[in-house]
Amino acid sequence: MTTARAERAVDRAWPLLAVLGAGLFLVAVDATVLHVALPDLVRQLRPGAAAQVWIVAIYPLTAAPLLLPFGTLGDRYGRRRVLVAGYVVFGIASLGCAFAPNVPVLLGCRALLGCGGAMIMPVTMSLLRELFPDQRRRRTAIAVCSGIAGTGSVFGPILGGVLVEVWGWRATFLLNPPVILAAIVLALRWLPRNPPGRRPWDAVSAALAAGGVLGIAFAVGHPGAWTTAVASGMTGCVLIGLFLRRQRRTDPPLLDLALFRRPGVRAAVGGVLLVMSTLVGLGLLFAQYLQVVLGLSPTAAAGRLLLVLGASAVGSVVTPSLLGRFGNAPVRTAGFAVAAVSLLVPAAGSAALTSPVLLGAGLTGLGLGMALALTSSTDTLLSATSADQAGGAAAVEKTGYELGAGFGTTVFGSLAAAVYAGHLAVPAGVPEPARALALSGPAQAEAAASGLTSPLADELLDAARAACTTGLQVSAAVACGLFLVAVLVSSGVPRR
């Protein structure tokens, strides 16, 4: 390709990046958009307690195990083909969710939505190798997409709250089809047709990988008893072991395990897990705190959390030049350090959390640190393999993304709930049913207080807000400690 043709291809790639980013944002948002919209959905469809858990959990549980099969399928049969098919599936599933007449239909469409998301995510990231062959420009594109994917999960609950406030829960899915339709048209018009790869696609390996990740993802999300989660996790580990054994004996393997022996790759995977665990886990806790404790509307809470998105955008701009000057490992370590320092704000407690300046500084620093860490980790993974195997590397990154999101929701959510229940000082005189309801969470405490007399209700609400603040404080302190450990581990990785 001549220099002039290469420049024209890159100029066309930048607007296409906006389209790819929009699709990636919708996929990320849909993982958490129902967290706030669920109460309105429950009032209309009346699902049982178990069905409510599955309505939220079935999306990531379907997406996570299919990321590696679909990522490598794009390498074999053409990324544009798989991406457009993913857009079609995602759009149809969104319409199905929006107009679902009952819970079984909604569950089926949510599972189909996860399937479409699994087709979109790894192929979108692997396309960056193809659209931006120049490393400097590719790093900028990776920074943009990493920031979009990371903040989309955090912004999902707030966006869901705003849409529910205005139109109802079905609007959370009706947002998708117009964007997806535009993405299909532009992808068909602008994306290059890459020829099918010569490497065979190993269906047995794909099935083992899908089953293993499904077992681990189910154990992480555990929408059921802990014994089921343990059994699922053990089964997943066995299947992953069989997958790894097959990769060592198959030529060529579905996933080249030499990828994990390259400098910085294992640290990068760990970085993706840690960043997504914190972004999603603490993001949900922050959304709850801003609305329940500070009394902000979903729109006002969204305005506060936009600081994370804005800081990530700034990080997307500065990270590529930092990567070119210092290398991936130092930038990733710096991102961990910035995130750790920023988490000291919520870890300090109510005095810092109620200060708009301090809280704003903490959220801004957190978004910047996450952008640095996530972008450098993704760039390490995509740069560690050849262009024709980029789908597998992108699938590894997105699998870490999904597992990290599930892990963060489970671990930080459970930790905050335990701290809340342990620190909730229920006033004397509160009836036992109201007391049990209040112990379930701060939002439930508001429902419990609605049936009490004014002085007693105010006391219960004050106690719930204090306990909720403590839960966020402890969770932030734990996350801060994890990032400090990550700083120590990452600083020992050879510079790349």
pLDDT of residue 199: 67
Of 88-92, 255-259, 275-279, 331-335, the one with minimum mean pLDDT is: 255-259
pLDDT of residue 290: 84
pLDDT of residue 88: 94
pLDDT of residue 2: 46
Q: Averaged over 395-409, what is the pLDDT?
A: 74
Q: How far apart are CA 447 and CA 318, in angstroms?
A: 46
DSSP 430-486: --HHHHHHHTT-HHHHHHHHTTS-HHHHHHHHHHHHHHHHHHHHHHHHHHHHHHHHH
Question: Residue 117 in contact with residue 87, Cβ under 8 Å?
Answer: no
Q: Averaged over 391-419, what is the pLDDT?
A: 76
pLDDT at 366 over 70: yes
Question: Residue 267 in contact with residue 250, Cβ under 8 Å?
Answer: no
10 Å Cβ neighbour count for 226? 9
SS (H, E, C) 95-113: HHHHCCCCHHHHHHHHHHH
Residue 90 pLDDT grade (very low, low, confident, very high; cuts 50, 70, 90): very high
Question: Residue 445 in contact with residue 438, Cβ under 8 Å?
Answer: yes
Mean pLDDT of the chain: 80
Q: Which residues of 92-120 are buried (b: 16+ CB within 10 A; e: fewer)?
A: bbbebbbebeebeebbebbbbbbbbbbbb
Residue predicted with more confidence, 72 or 366: 366
Coil/strand/helix, residue 295: coil
pLDDT of residue 10: 53
pLDDT at 107 over 80: yes
pLDDT at 124 over 80: yes
Tell me how far CA of residue 172 lies from CA of 36, 89, 336, 356, in angstroms. 10, 17, 33, 29
Residue predicted with more confidence, 225 or 212: 212
pLDDT of residue 425: 86
The tens digit of pLDDT for each residue in 423-449 reads: 888 888 888 888 888 887 787 787 788
Residue 4 pLDDT grade (very low, low, confident, very high; cuts 50, 70, 90): very low
pLDDT of residue 86: 92
pLDDT at 42 over 80: no
SS (H, E, C) 380-434: HHHHCCCHHHHHHHHHHHHHHHHHHHHHHHHHHHHHHHHHHHHHCCCCCCCCHHH
Q: Averaged over 40-44, what is the pLDDT?
A: 77
pLDDT of residue 128: 78
How open is the CA angle 390-396-160, to the nearest 5 degrees?
Answer: 110
Q: How far apart are CA 429 and CA 11, in angstroms?
A: 69
Of 51-65, 110-124, 350-364, 456-470, the one with minimum mean pLDDT is: 51-65
Q: Averaged over 24-29, what is the pLDDT?
A: 83
Q: How far apart are CA 378 and CA 96, in angstroms?
A: 33
Coil/strand/helix, residue 360: helix
Question: Residue 256 in contact with residue 385, Cβ under 8 Å?
Answer: yes
pLDDT of residue 474: 93
Q: Averaged over 72-78, what is the pLDDT?
A: 77
Find how far residue 238's CA is from the centre of its chain: 26
pLDDT of residue 12: 64
The tens digit of pLDDT for each residue in 95-105 reads: 999 999 998 99
The tens digit of pLDDT for each residue in 166-175 reads: 788 888 888 8
Question: Residue 418 in contact with residue 105, Cβ under 8 Å?
Answer: no
pLDDT at 3 over 60: no
